[in-house]
Amino acid sequence: MDRKCVFYNINLDITDLQGVLARCSDFFKSERAQTIFFLNAHCFNTAQKNREYRDAINSSDLLLNDGVGIKIASLLSGLSLRENLNGTDLIPEILKLAAKKNKRVYFLGGLDGVAEKASVNVKRSLPGLDIAGSHTGFFGTDDEKDLIDKIEESGAELLIIGMGVPRQELWAVRNKQLLKKVKIIIAGGAILDFLSGRIKRAPLWLRKVGMEWLYRLYIEPSRMWKRYIPGNFIFFINLFKIRFLGVGVPATHVQAEEIPPER
């Protein structure tokens, strides 16, 4: 049975691919925008130092486990996860569902031209999908109203965001009530880079053994090394502090971070 469980200090959904797709089918019938976010080791670390982000993911309609770090942490806590639900594999399945249900999709994020190229590639692989529009992830707060109006005018019911953690989740939570026609908002990190072909995915055998992070480190060492080298160590320190020392993050000590879009 699908359920939401306390995972250290995060509310994590325990489900599988079919459960997610069933929930998405229900979300498309909703009267408000529903959010789908992902939790990996980097997201967990960010949640410990950014209370606004932690509140955002804890309030999400679906928060899904992503990566081997979360799997190891679940075993340490006695929580049984069903399968890895990383966005790079899951979002294309949700796009297939959208095509089947004749739902319009909007891509938001990435460098200039990345969302547009992702649209072309996805349209080629899913010719029945109606892509309503796309927009770069580089925009200022002064542009937000025009962007929201553009998304609304497109008639999109599924919004895929790729602007990096925590910016994409904070943006989604802040603006979801203004997106009256959108039924599902998914924060997918580098998903548009993958769909556009700007970043190549790891070989299948590496993905199957949970080592795709190592390939990301190999192809983008200057950007990813802090996340995966000290970041993984900090992740397990955070787990220990929460589980055995009862150390939380006082809200008064945490401020929202302004972080540029993930590329």
C-alpha dihedral sign at 114, 127, 207, 77: positive
Domains in the chain with CATH codes: 9-196 (3.40.50)
- pLDDT, residue 244, reads 83
Q: What is the mean pLDDT of each run of 10 residues along the chain (263 residues)?
A: 92 97 98 97 97 97 97 94 96 98 98 97 96 96 94 98 97 97 97 96 88 90 91 96 74 34 38
> Three-state SS for 15?
coil
What per-residue confidence (pLDDT) applies to 248? 61
**H/E element holding 187?**
strand 184-187
Please list, in sequence order, all residues whose beta carbon lies within 8 angstroms of the beta carbon of residue 222, skipping any fewer than 6 positions away. Answer: none
Strand, coil or helix: 36: strand
- The pLDDT of residue 210 is 82
Residues 6+ away with beta carbon under 8 Å from 114? 136, 162, 192, 193, 196, 198
Euclidean distance between CA atoms 70 and 16, whole angstroms: 15
Residue 97's alpha-carbon distances to 39, 116, 128, 230, in angstroms, are: 22, 21, 11, 38
Structure-token pair, residue 113: 């031209």
DSSP 142: G
Entry pTM: 0.91
